[in-house]
């Protein structure tokens, strides 16, 4: 074989090797997702209920990206913009609506050990001019430790797209593959229930039943290009 032919063979093998190594590196990189809060939808709902000057809702931490199996909780900020209304967040009636249409109970994260997910959650009071900051999760995220008999939020992500990866339903597996190839997004929502009352009456006093307010906080989960997992993109 001539020298030129040898060089061509070596170059071809080198390119194949580099390509294979590069593909293996890409496959080993964590899948990254971005969770987008549709704030405009929430603002519109509050406006329709004439509450735009009473309640403000935002979420912290969503500017960054997450591995596909995270986050296990969302950081929510609820502002009482009023001057004379008490706002109660009724956690036990709040819910996460997942991609497949199922509804899961919201769990307000606590610094204490969680031993029973069925225990009633005390509503949170937000007085006029103050902001409530809490971390919330879905009951489907919590996993029972067989030894300590306590629950920790480590089982799934609140944006649990991975449950369709191994779904027995063919259509759901197809949609997951479309998500991975960035041909579609997934959506879920956090549905919040508020009770409002005049501060001089309170939620358990007076003749009138405090008005009920339901606000759906929608989110979109999208798959990011593999380049977002590179070290210099960590802060994006």
pTM score, whole prediction: 0.80
Average pLDDT over residues 59-74: 91
Residue of 78 and 150 predicted with greater confidence: 78
Q: Is the pLDDT reported for residue 236 higher than 70?
A: no
Q: Which of 25-29, 45-49, 67-71, 75-79 has the lowest mean pLDDT?
A: 25-29
Q: What confidence category does residue 223 fall into, taking pLDDT thresholds of 50, 70 and 90?
A: very high
Q: What is the pLDDT of residue 212?
A: 87
Please give the pLDDT value at position 112: 66
C-alpha to C-alpha distance for 5 and 181, rounded to whole angstroms? 39
Model pLDDT, residue 209: 45
Hey, what are 3's tokens? Answer: 């020298």
Tens of pLDDT, residues 113-162: 566 677 889 999 999 999 999 999 999 888 877 777 777 778 889 988 98
Confidence of residue 164 (pLDDT cuts 50, 70, 90): confident
Whether residue 127 contacts residue 199, with contact meaning beta carbons closer than 8 Å, is answered with yes
pLDDT single digits (tens) 3-29: 555 556 555 655 554 544 444 444 434
Mean predicted confidence (pLDDT) in 100-122: 81
Task: Give the range among 4-8, 57-61, 66-70, 217-221 with minimum mean pLDDT.
Answer: 4-8
The b/e string for 77-105 (b: 16+ C-beta within 10 A; e otherwise) is ebbbbbeebbbbbbbebbbbbbbeeeebb
Q: Rounding to the nearest 10 degrees, give the CA dihedral for residues 93, 40, 57, 94.
A: 10
Query: Among positive and negative, which fits the CA dihedral 75, 112, 153, 136?
Result: negative
Q: What is the pLDDT of residue 92?
A: 93
Write down the mean pLDDT value for the chain: 82
Q: Measure the CA–CA gap between 116 and 102, rounded to whole angstroms.
A: 22
d(CA 59, CA 162): 23
């Amino acid at each position: 074989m001539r020298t030129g032919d040898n060089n061509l063979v070596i170059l071809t093998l080198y390119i194949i090797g580099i390509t294979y190594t590069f593909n293996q590196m890409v496959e080993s990189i964590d899948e990254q997702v971005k969770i987008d809060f549709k704030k405009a939808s929430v603002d519109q709902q509050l406006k329709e209920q004439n509450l735009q000057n009473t309640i403000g809702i935002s979420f912290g931490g969503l500017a960054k990206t997450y591995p596909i199996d995270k986050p296990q909780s969302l950081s929510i900020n609820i502002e009482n913009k009023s001057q004379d209304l008490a706002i109660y967040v009724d956690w036990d009636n709040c819910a996460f609506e997942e991609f497949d249409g199922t509804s899961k109970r919201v769990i307000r994260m606590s610094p204490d050990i969680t031993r029973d997910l069925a225990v009633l959650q005390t509503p949170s009071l937000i007085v006029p001019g103050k902001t409530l900051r809490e971390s919330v999760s879905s009951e489907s995220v919590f996993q029972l430790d067989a030894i300590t008999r306590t629950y920790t939020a480590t089982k799934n992500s609140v944006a649990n797209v991975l449950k369709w990866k191994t779904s027995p339903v063919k259509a759901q597996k197809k949609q997951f593959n479309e998500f991975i190839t960035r041909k579609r997004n997934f959506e879920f929502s956090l549905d919040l229930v508020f009770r409002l009352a005049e501060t001089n009456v309170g939620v358990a006093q007076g003749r009138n039943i405090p008005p009920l307010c339901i606000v759906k906080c929608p989110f979109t989960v999208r798959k990011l290009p593999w380049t977002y997992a590179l070290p210099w993109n960590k802060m994006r």
